[in-house]
Each structure stands twice: as structure tokens, then as C-alpha cells.
Amino acid sequence: MATVAADIGFTPIKPNIGSIVHADKQVLLGGHHAAEIYDMLEQRGVLVFPKVGFTDAEHIAFTATLGRFTPDIGGKDVYPISVDKAVNPTADYLKGAFFWHFDGYMSPMPISASLLSSKVLSPPGTGNTEFANTYAAYEALSPEDKARLAGLRVVHTMAHSQLSHTPEPTQAQWDEWRALGRKELPLVWTHQSGRRSLVLGNAAAGILGMDPADLLVRLRNLATSPEFTYSHTWQVGDLVMWDNTGTLHRATAYPLDCGRLLHRTKLEGDEPII
């Protein structure tokens, strides 16, 4: 265990991704270790706070200790991750969450991090949340590959992400998705820190001037290989936080009528993808 103080410690989950945070609820809410927690997040991509059991108010308060809290979809402080439209009226857009993605690719500055708290479990063996470290995947590339990727740009669209689960949309669905626009982003994000990460996900429709799939598929397969991924099996009360600027995520399949429910908060981003 890597310990930074008597009342908090960190244990790596896998060599290239993830750490478990050992601290009680009151220590976390006090905010005294916010800098260490955020530094560890940038290093490890994903942090797990097992069975911390935050209420929504505590979830919001803890998020605010780590950076600039930002409201979620619809201005909600806490967004329900549920495919039940009675719980979440925007549930249709969560169908894309079963495929690798990152959040906020259409925004001027994507959110820096998300925090999920588990409320209702899906049946055993289903409904994990998986994460892939795109910093580590980039660093694993050969110098020749890194040179090849420099300067390449990719078109990202909501329409492409929705096609992953609805390959034959109605005209109304297609028009709705297309109205959300498109964004050209670099394939490699050079961060303010000097580190670089791959910009991938199911919204990536193709690389400008190249075959639309070949290189994106190869890079996605690299980034989501076991070496760079972590699959979290939820317990009620778990909190999981991830670095949205260098980590892909997805949910594994679960019965859509099982009531699975997670609550999400977000931290505002502070750098554009360049």
C-alpha cells in the first residue's frame, strides 16, 4: 500500500490503471487530502472508494473538495445512471454507454473527472463499469507509431455513437442525432502537463483523409486490452472516480429491467483537446 498520511492510503489495482483509496468518509469529506487524491487520479486514471456509502449531499460535497463542481445533464447536481425512463427521462442516450467512450467530446473543454456512486445493483456477473487508460496506451506505442499519429484528426459525432446500438435508426432519430453536430479532434491529445493520451471512443467516425476504421480499430483494441483496463464489480455504496481526459469507460451488459442505479457527479474541465 502506498500511504501519504496516517488517515489515507492508496493500493494499486493493476500496474497501468487503478488504485483503491483507503480512508473513512469523514476524512474524505474534510478535503484535507484533496490534492493527493487528485494527483493520484492523474497518475492512475481510476480511483475506487469501496463502500464509502455517500449520501447524495455527501457525494456532491466530496466532489466539490476536488475541483470545480459542475452540474450534469439538465442542470442536475446528481445525475441518475438508469435506463428506466421513469427514473431518467434521457435514458435513451445511455444506450451508447455500453461501448467505449469518454464524456464531453462536443464541449469546448471536456469534464476533467466523473464520480459514480452505486445505489442499486444489477444481477451478479453483470453491470460492471470498465475503464481503459489511454495515457498508458499512448506511452506503449513505438516511436514510429507516435510519429505516424502526430497531426492526425478525427471526426466525432453523436450520430456515430448512437449507431453502435441502433444501426437502423428512423429518420426522426437520425435527424435528432445529426442536429447535435460534429467535432474534429486530434487523435493525440497533448495535455498542459506535457503528457499525451489517445482520443478514441464510439463517437469517433473516422480519421480525416484516411480509411475510416483501420487505425481507429487497432488503437482502440490496444487501449482496451487487459494490460490497460480495469473492470469494476459494484457493491452498494462504492464510489468510483475516473480521469475523463485520459480514460475511456463503458458498462457491461445487464438486464435492462433490473433497476440498476448509479448516481453521477462531475468536475469541470480546465483544458481543451489540442
Query: Do 163 and 104 touch, CB atoms closer than 8 A?
Result: no
Decide if pLDDT at 183 tops 80. Answer: yes
pLDDT confidence bin for 92, thresholds 50/70/90: confident
Decide if pLDDT at 25 tops 60. Answer: yes
| pTM of the shown model | 0.93
- HEC profile of 179-210: CCCEEEEECEEECCCCCEEECCCCCEEEECCC
Closest listed residue to residue 188, CA positions, set 224, 147, 222, 144: 147
What is the residue type of 238? D
Decide if pLDDT at 62 tops 90. Answer: yes
Domains and CATH numbers, the chain: 2-267 (3.60.130.10)
Decide if pLDDT at 46 tops 60. Answer: yes
Which range, of 41-50, 60-69, 95-104, 116-125, averages the lowest pLDDT? 95-104
| % the chain with pLDDT above 70 | 97
What is the residue type of 128? N
pLDDT recorded at residue 163: 85
Based on C-alpha coordinates, what's the Rg of the chain? 18
pLDDT recorded at residue 179: 83
Query: Do 252 and 125 touch, CB atoms closer than 8 A?
Result: no
Closest listed residue to residue 250, CA positions, set 269, 272, 227, 223: 223
Give SS3 for 244: coil
pLDDT confidence bin for 182, thresholds 50/70/90: confident
Other Cβ atoms within 10 Å of 213 Cβ, number: 13
Decide if pLDDT at 213 tops 70. Answer: no
Cα separation of 230 and 208, whole Å?
A: 31
Average pLDDT, the chain: 93
